[in-house]
Chains A and B, each alone.
Chain A
Amino acid sequence: MSAAAPATDRLPAALPRGETIVEFRNVWKRYSGRDVLAGVNLQIRRGEVLCILGPSGTGKSVALRHINGLTHPDDGDVLVFGESVVGLSEEELSPVRRRVAMLFQGGALFDSMSVEENIAFPVREHTPKAEDEVAAIVAEKLTLVGLPGIQKKMPSELSGGMRKRVALARSIALEPEIILYDEPTTGLDPVSSEKIAQLIVDVNERLRTTSVVVTHDIVTARTVSDRVVFLHQGRFQFVGTFEEAARDGHPVLMDYFRAMGFPCGTGVFRAIPKGE
């Protein structure tokens, strides 16, 4: 593992609005003798929707989990709200985690609780709100995700798409500043995927959050992203807008686009030295 910064990280063509809210600084992570993250650098700006694209097993979710401290890097630093989250204990991470919500791949709803209890859970844990206020928050969030009136249902009674929307309602219950989406459309039919993708955009606009979406679904990335980054062989090989990626991305990314039926340019991938 060398400490050299990756030469292929690429600066965005059009800088999105807002200050830097999350920053990866030369982050390394190794699993089973393989560098899943090999010195990645990335800046995520307040208010944007950033998609992390890449083939399965490349470490997209691992990168995402560094943001809320569920995973710690072997080397390098991760700054969230300007503070390093590396090496912090679970208790020290609490203030950051209250401002950063995460939507897990399978929803991760608590099986033993109803929809209402699931959504109310973080509110009851972290705020002194009265029960009628909590009930109002639950109803409001369920309406926001398009599922009003299902408070009493159990997670086992919900379809895959509904589970993810309820999980999203739970994620936004505390009105976080950053939402992390781990494969939000995986396992869903195209219609449900499109609904979830639209919901990500709506939530980001209405709640003025910053969203980081890990996906291998190009359609979702096109719908939601202000910028995409492409993770391959442990490095962010491309950072830019979706259109730039489709026009002049990394060869593997271009193959990816073609496999999904997206028209791609014939531009040759150019490794741009850091700082250019």
Chain B
Amino acid sequence: MAGSEGVECAVPMAPPEPSATAIFYRNLAWLRFVDRFGRKGSHIVEYVGGLSQLVGQALAGCVSRPFYSSEVLHQMDELGVKSLSITGITAFVTGGVLALQTAYSLEAFGGKTFIGRIVSLSLVRELGPILTALMVAGRVGSGITAEIGSMTVTEQVDALRAMAISPVRRLVVPRLLAIVLMMPVLTAIADVLGILGGLGIAVLEIRMTFQDYFTSILQQLQISDICSGLSKTFFFGFEIAAIGCYNGLQVEGGATAVGRATTRTVVLASICILISDFLLTKLFLAI
């Protein structure tokens, strides 16, 4: 009997009914979440729509008059040639590190002779384009947003419009063309410098000969590898320029807004480059 009494005592009590106030606040929290989620979603849709519209206008501007060819050349120098140092150093050091890591990893298997192949293939197919694009996104994408953003907040963009000059044709198209044209050049130079970086390590640290290193490269590297690597860079350049210009034109406010837009450009361009690299790699491997 004592046991049955114990069982009776152990019957759990039904939880108390939540008060109307608690239900209200719980639902309010959900509503706030849905509201925030909805706002974020609508901002993303709005952003993508605006960016697509700008890209459409810029593409139309690329194939119709007026052309600002001297401005394109100026931007190729500003955005392209002046990025050579950062992209070149990055590739050179990466090539050296890659050679060191490969030698260290494959030493046990006698794989030192593969260093040239691995360095060149990694750089030409993947690391050269992606590292160059990320460096350009950091240097050039942020610079474009800061410049156009400053022009927007100081009414220079409105001044262009008031003078019946299209900001898209004058500001966006030259930058877009300059980056798209310069990205393959920067990447090709980065590839060469990366291979030379690997060569330096291979000769000085691993005691390979020049001939062994380059023979190893020529045995493996195909024209298709170079083409697939360089082809990606057109897309990367396009993404950097489009995002950089759009964020600059959308700036509202003052210096703080320009800073925020600049950060947004670097983050967004980097993410887009990484995602599109994956998709393009899949595409090129399938072809």
Contact = CB atoms under 8 A, between A and B. Distances in A.
B154 interface: yes
A93 interface: yes
B158 A70 contact: yes
A125 interface: yes
B161 interface: yes
B56 to A, nearest CB: 13
Contacts of A105: 155
A67 to B, nearest CB: 10
B166 interface: yes
A197 to B, nearest CB: 21
B155 A68 contact: no
Contacts of B166: 90-91
A126 B155 contact: no
Interface string A81-99: 0000000001101110110
A190 to B, nearest CB: 24
Nearest to B57: A90
Contacts of B255: none
A76 interface: no
B106 interface: no
A155 to B, nearest CB: 10
B161 A97 contact: yes
B162 interface: yes
Nearest to B165: A125
Contacts of B162: 68, 70, 97, 100-102, 104
A257 interface: no
A125 B166 CA distance: 11
A121 interface: yes
A89 B119 CA distance: 53
Interface string B144-166: 00000011001110110111111
Nearest to A91: B166
A160 interface: no
A106 interface: yes
A104 B155 contact: yes
Interface in A99-126: 100-102, 104-106, 108-111, 121-122, 125-126
A70 B161 contact: yes
B13 to A, nearest CB: 51
A37 B87 CA distance: 52
B158 A104 contact: yes
A5 B166 CA distance: 35
Contact of B154 (A70, A94, A106, A125): A106
B161 A90 contact: yes
Contacts of B159: 102, 104, 108, 110
Nearest to A98: B164
A145 to B, nearest CB: 17
A176 to B, nearest CB: 10
Contacts of B164: 93-95, 97-98, 125-126
Nearest to B161: A70
A28 B161 CA distance: 22
A205 B53 CA distance: 43
A54 to B, nearest CB: 20
A106 B155 contact: yes
Interface in B163-193: 163-166
B158 A108 contact: yes
Contacts of A95: 164
A105 B158 CA distance: 11
A36 to B, nearest CB: 16
A125 B65 CA distance: 12
A68 B165 CA distance: 13
A91 B158 CA distance: 14
Interface in B50-67: 66
A91 B66 CA distance: 13
Interface in A48-71: 68, 70
A101 to B, nearest CB: 7
A122 B163 contact: yes
Contacts of A109: 156
B163 A97 contact: yes
Contacts of B161: 70, 90, 97
15 contacts: A70-B162, A97-B161, A100-B162, A104-B155, A104-B162, A105-B155, A106-B155, A109-B156, A110-B151, A110-B156, A111-B151, A111-B156, A121-B163, A122-B163, A122-B165
Given A98-B164, A121-B163, 13 more contacts: A70-B158, A70-B162, A91-B166, A95-B164, A97-B163, A104-B155, A104-B158, A104-B159, A108-B154, A108-B159, A110-B151, A110-B159, A111-B150
Interface of B: 66, 150-151, 154-156, 158-159, 161-166
Q: Give the 7 A-B residue pairs with the shortest CB-CB distance, closest first.
A: A108-B159, A97-B164, A94-B164, A108-B155, A102-B162, A104-B155, A122-B163
